[in-house]
Structure 1
Amino acid sequence: MLFSSNIPTDFRLAFRARFGWLAAGSLLVLAITAVLSAQFSGRQPATVALDVGLSMIRLLLPLVLVSMTQELLSREFDRRYFLNTLSYPHPRHSLLLGRFSAIAALTLGLLLLLAGALALLVWSISQSYAQSTPVALGYHYLATIGFIGLDLLVLTALATLLAVVASTPSFVLIGTFGFMLVARSFGAIVELLTRNAYVVSDSDSYRSGVGVLGYLLPDLGALDVREIALYGKMDFLPADWPWLVLSNLAYVIGLLALAVWALNRKRFA
């Protein structure tokens, strides 16, 4: 079997690790932030609420997936639970991919819950004021959430790899968020230097150095396509979005392959 047959057990472990509290807390923070942010815009309250809400989703869900990865994988090795888990007649990769599947399913499920709640809040806010450019909560919004889901899938695969190779659970948090910050920002930095060469001295060499990251990291910043939902125009979708999707999926597969390889070579004391 490719995946672990104990996926229900993985879900039970996740809820034992306070996933329910994390989900409820994320929902509460999202609701409060979206409602309050709408009060700061007299002309575009729904747009501001949707924009801030999407930012909160992209910030909160990485915290949730890292917490679940630490509990389901890192502490598996830290507390030596593997002595019991790996005693069953299953290959090591089934444990790893099963835990990855559980974490991804919980994270994407929570994404759908938060996205639905945000859409309901934004729709309710939009009823009180008719904007000149209304937000698009149809397929534009679904496309935006789909790209966020792909972003989270990449981060989940990276956190899984770090949980296998790291010696402490805290490194999963540091490594995942460090990777996230760089992967989400380097594309914008390159574009800024391209359009405004006067921002730094010797911008060409600086742009070339930062651009090298494009060959090493996925461009998670390009997966933020919220403009198509904020303004209701698919023109904001990147022209090369099929390549963007395929390259990030390939990155997920590559990270998981490295994680499986590292786990198979791992020596347990």
Structure 2
Amino acid sequence: MLNSPSITTGLRLAFHARLGWLTIGASILLILAVLLSAQFSGRQPATVALDVGLSLIRLLLPLMLVLTTQELLSREFDRRYFLNTLSYPHPRRSLLLGRFTTVALLTLGLLLVLAIALALMTRLIEQGYSQATPVALGFHYFVTISFIGLDLLLLTAVATLLAVVASTPSFVLIGTFGFMLVARSFSAIVELLTRNAGVVSDAESYRSGVGLLSYLLPDLGALDVRMITLYGKMELLPADWPWLVLSSLTYTVGLLALAVWALQRKRFA
């Protein structure tokens, strides 16, 4: 059962770990990258800047959530703080779900901050040059950021599960980023092999092997719907987007349930 003291404790630990400096550093890095990338396109500076900014957000925030999960869960077990935490009359799942909620709130909060900063910087760049195809920073942008948030929520569940079952905090980083790279890229690899079979020898068997991942992993690559905001066309949104959302949420709940099950059976030395 989830309780607010568990979330409050998690927020306090995140504050003491000075994770706020990561937020400041990520914001500065995003602003610099957006400004510099806009200088490399003479005809569509706002589109290029927005594209680079979204890519940077999708790279920085997984690192943020992994570091936060390491601090709030992995080090809880590594430093044996659980001896004090689990002495309170609360079930173990309350600790786990509270820390997951804390990481999710911090990550999505940073996503909101960076999304607003990126929109403002893109709008500022647009003032200097009027493009033939302007970017869409209204509802299209909101949908794009929402799908990124869903991507991050699922990765938070992955990191939470790894924090429970892993023996070292570093495996949370390796495992989460490994999962992210595979889940974000396998569908693009299958599509590439379908369109250009000459990329590798025996492309059909290779494509079939990679295609099996679609039965095991969520398609995080399909959650990258930035094209609708870069070109202002909602028809670029995948036709099966309701299934993508539902499958990602189901996968997230399944991972959390597995993490709770693993923690309930975890033996502490």
Bin the TM-score by the shorter chain.
Answer: over 0.9
| SS class of match (1:5) | helix
Question: Hey, what does 2:42 align to over in structure 1?
Answer: 42
8 Å CA contact 1:3, 1:93 repeated in 2: no
Q: Determine what percentage of the aligned residue pairs are the same residue.
A: 78
Whether 1:163 and 2:163 are equivalent positions in the alignment is yes
Write out aligned runs for 1:204-219 (5 A): 204-219=204-219
2: CA distance, partners of 1:5 / 1:18: 20
TM-score, normalisation: structure 2? 0.99
Question: Hey, what does 2:78 align to over in structure 1?
Answer: 78
Letter paired with 2:45: P
2: CA distance, partners of 1:75 / 1:208: 40
Structure 1, residues 188-212: CA drift from partner, whole Å, max 9, x if none? 0001111111211211111000000
8 Å CA contact 1:92, 1:264 repeated in 2: yes
Write out aligned runs for 1:120-159 (5 A): 120-159=120-159
8 Å CA contact 1:4, 1:94 repeated in 2: no
1: CA distance, partners of 2:16 / 2:116: 25
- Structure 1 residue 4: Cα displacement: 5.2
8 Å CA contact 1:154, 1:251 repeated in 2: yes
Letter paired with 2:52: V
Letter paired with 1:265: R
Letter paired with 1:261: W
Letter paired with 2:205: S
2: CA distance, partners of 1:25 / 1:204: 45
Question: Hey, what does 1:201 align to over in structure 2?
Answer: 201
TM-score, normalisation: structure 1? 0.99
Letter paired with 1:251: Y
1: CA distance, partners of 2:7 / 2:158: 20
Q: Which runs of 5+ in 2 are unaligned?
A: none
Question: Hey, what does 2:96 align to over in structure 1?
Answer: 96
Question: Hey, what does 1:107 align to over in structure 2?
Answer: 107
- Structure 1 residue 68: Cα displacement: 0.3
- Structure 1 residue 171: Cα displacement: 0.2
| SS class of match (1:111) | helix
Structure 1, residues 27-83: CA drift from partner, whole Å, max 9, x if none? 000000000000000000000000000000000000100000000000000000000
Structure 1, residues 87-115: CA drift from partner, whole Å, max 9, x if none? 00000000000000000000000000000
Structure 1, residues 199-249: CA drift from partner, whole Å, max 9, x if none? 112111110000000000110000000000000001110000000000000
8 Å CA contact 1:150, 1:248 repeated in 2: yes
1: CA distance, partners of 2:88 / 2:5: 11
Q: Which runs of 5+ in 1 are unaligned?
A: none
Letter paired with 1:31: I
Structure 1, residues 141-186: CA drift from partner, whole Å, max 9, x if none? 0000000000000100000000000000000000000000000000
2: CA distance, partners of 1:84 / 1:151: 33
C-alpha RMSD of the superposition: 0.7
1: CA distance, partners of 2:147 / 2:205: 31
2: CA distance, partners of 1:18 / 1:190: 41
- Structure 1 residue 7: Cα displacement: 1.3
| SS class of match (2:5) | coil
Letter paired with 2:238: P
1: CA distance, partners of 2:60 / 2:6: 27
Letter paired with 1:163: A
Number of residue-to-residue matches in the alignment: 269
Moved more, 30-39 or 189-198: 189-198
Letter paired with 2:140: H
Moved more, 8-17 or 243-252: 8-17
User: Which runs of structure 1 show a deviation greater than 6 angstroms over 4 or more consecutive aligned residues?
Assistant: none
